[in-house]
Amino acid sequence: MPIVKYPRARDPLYYEWDRKAQKCGLRHTVYAVYGDQYTGEWLNNLKHGKGTQIWKSTGAIYSGDWKFGKQDGYGSYSIPDPVTKEYRKVYTGWWKNGKKTGQGVSFYPNGERYEGEWSNGMRSGWGRMYYQAGSSYEGQWEVDQPNGQGMLLLPNGNRYEGGWKDGKKHGPGRYFYMDKGQLLEGTWAEDVAKCGVLVDFERDKAPAPPQYPIPEIELDDPAGVLAEAKALLDDSDN
């Protein structure tokens, strides 16, 4: 009986093409169909490890750690200046699942800067913000706003220490008027002092104190006043 040889079975060619297309390990620049480009490490066809991504639509660049296709770890994000076209750093710090999370520094177009903690892409935790006008805030943040306890320092040296809510002074606090040598201690609600006590504070060091100091309230006979008040209360009970 003659021996018949059959050709060896082979997988379709597209199986081989698909295997070669799978990205794993270090690769040179890979271009997406919409123009974005990535240079770095891959795992199972996802950006994973160290790498640099450039977005065609904005020109933005992220360089740092990746995990399963998203920014995760330490990295920096920069965008080109619309006029000079030079790259300006926007954020450098820690990321998780594609969003700023952990310690990081953010640089704003008007020169302002935030240094501190982030959560889910927003300022949350403890941080320090430097504002364009020269003031600064250091304290607790939540959902991108000062919330909790913090201190606002103004360019003239005046400062507020106390509670904050949704970016406004709220709750017990103290306002130091260093230019006048006075201290207001009281309670705030939505940035407005509702009640408090104003006293002189380091008046001799103030550059522009008021003409007259705040008079102190003194009781001639505190013990006698208290005794009289107690007697009135006792009479009202009877």
Q: What is the pLDDT of residue 5?
A: 58
Task: Give the pLDDT score at 95.
Answer: 98
Contact 91, 105 (CB under 8 A): yes
Mean pLDDT of 200-206: 87
108 vs 216: CA distance, rounded Å: 47
Summarize pLDDT for 40-95 with one digit per residue, the tens.
999 988 999 999 999 999 999 999 999 999 999 999 999 999 888 899 999 999 99
Per-residue pLDDT averaged across 88-109, rounded? 97
Residue 95 backbone phi and psi in degrees, to 5: -130, 155
- Per-residue confidence band for 17, with pLDDT thresholds at 50, 70 and 90: very low
Mean pLDDT within 23-41 = 84
DSSP string across 129-161: EE-TTS-EEEEEEETTEEEEEEEEE-TTS-EEE
Label residue 237 exposed, middle or buried (CB < 10 Å: 0-12, 13-18, 19+).
exposed
Number of Cβ within 10 Å of residue 132's Cβ equals 11
pTM over 0.75: yes
Residue pointed to by tokens 């919409």: 34
Summarize the chain as % helix, strand, coil (round to 5).
10, 55, 35
